[in-house]
Structure 1
Amino acid sequence: MQMEQLQKDMIAAMKAKDKPRKDAISSVVSAVKKVAIDEGCRDDIKEELVDRVILKELKSVKEQIDTCPADRQDLKAEYQLRYDVINEYAPQLMSEDEVKAVLTEKFADVVATKNKGQIMKAVMAELKGKADGKVINQVVSQLCQ
């Protein structure tokens, strides 16, 4: 996702007077800017950084939904709307089959060792941000059996 696109969508939500959508996008833009400043690339924000921050924000909103008290339906609805908006911008993650294909093609030599720690160390750098860590762990566990 491009930072410029996020900002354009935030402005469009402002013009449409869609406050919940604007707030959700605005929180992502702020988080991206903060991480960019922390990493020293404020002027040149890469797409990879934006995607990474979007996934992190999505995870944190999901936790808010999961931990929200059952009697607070108003809050839960607000969190759900925020989750839905952020999810529109989230990059598509690889499926279990796609992860398995990458592991068997690119990392066949490491997978052959059946050393789970060594496999995880080798593949996590390659698949970080492209696939869910739980899916990677599950596929590696299957391959090590």
Structure 2
Amino acid sequence: MQMEQLRKDMMAAMKARDKERKDAISSLVSAVKKNAIDAGCRDDIPEDMVNATIMKELKTVQEQIDSCPADRTDLLEEYRKRYDIMKEYAPKMLSKEEVTAIVKEKFADVIATKNKGQIMKTIMPELKGKADGKVINEVVTEMCNA
């Protein structure tokens, strides 16, 4: 996701007077800007930083949904709408089959060691932000036990 696309979508939501959408996108824009300033790249924000920030914000909203009391239906609905809006901007995660193919193709030598810790240490930098950690762990566990 490009930062410029987030800004355009925020402007479109403002023009459409869609407050919930504008607020959700605005919080993404703010979080991305904060991370960019912290990283020292305020003017040229890389796409992977935008994607990582979106995933982090998505996880935060999911935690809000999970911890929200059931009797607070108003808050729960607000959090779910925000989650759905942010989900539109989240990068597509690799499937289990895609992760398996990448691991077999690029990391066959490390997999041969059957050392799960070493395998994870080698694979994670390559797949971080591209695939869910649970999926990666599942694939590696299957390969170590095979």
TM-score, length basis structure 1: 0.99
- 1:31 counterpart = 2:38: no
Report deviation, 1:110. Answer: 0.3
- 1:91 counterpart = 2:71: no
Q: Distance in 2 between matches of 1:143 and 1:63?
A: 31
The answer for the alignment partner of 2:106 in structure 1 is 106
List gaps (5 residues or longer) in structure 1: none
Q: Distance in 2 between matches of 1:48 and 1:126?
A: 12
The answer for the alignment partner of 1:67 in structure 2 is 67
Post-superposition Cα deviations, 1:113-134, rounded to whole Å, max 9, x if no partner, equal 0100000000000001100111
The answer for the alignment partner of 2:42 in structure 1 is 42
Query: Identity, % of aligned pairs?
Result: 70
Report deviation, 1:5. Answer: 0.4
Report deviation, 1:17. Answer: 0.5
Q: Distance in 2 between matches of 1:140 and 1:134?
A: 10
> Which amino acid in the other structure matches residue 82 of structure 1?
R
When the two chains are superposed, the root-mean-square deviation of aligned CA atoms in Å is 0.5
Q: Distance in 1 between matches of 2:127 and 2:84?
A: 24
SS at match of 2:69: coil
SS at match of 2:40: coil
> Aligned pair count?
145
The answer for the alignment partner of 1:123 in structure 2 is 123
The answer for the alignment partner of 1:143 in structure 2 is 143
The answer for the alignment partner of 1:51 in structure 2 is 51
List gaps (5 residues or longer) in structure 2: none
Q: Distance in 2 between matches of 1:65 and 1:139?
A: 28
Runs of 4+ in 1 over 3 A off after TM superposition: none
Q: Distance in 1 between matches of 2:110 and 2:89?
A: 34
> Which amino acid in the other structure matches residue 19 of structure 2?
K
SS at match of 2:130: coil
